[in-house]
Amino acid sequence: MPYTAHPTAVIDEGCTIGEGTRIWHFSHLMPGCVIGERCNIGQNVVVSPGVKLGNNVKVQNNVSIYTGVECEEDVFLGPSCVFTNVINPRSAVARRDQYLRTLVKKGASIGANATIICGHDIGRFAFIGAGAVVTKEVPDYALVIGNPAKQTGWMSEFGHKLKFNDAGEAECPESGQRYELKSGRVTRIA
Express each pLDDT in 35-94 by its tens digit.
999 999 999 999 999 999 999 999 999 999 999 999 999 999 999 999 999 999 999 999
| pTM greater than 0.85 (yes/no) | yes
Percent of the chain at pLDDT > 70 equals 99
Separation of alpha carbons 156 and 136, rounded Å: 21
Separation of alpha carbons 127 and 14, rounded Å: 32
For the chain, the straight-line distance linking the first and the last C-alpha, in angstroms and rounded, comes to 40
Separation of alpha carbons 126 and 110, rounded Å: 8
Rg (CA), the chain: 17
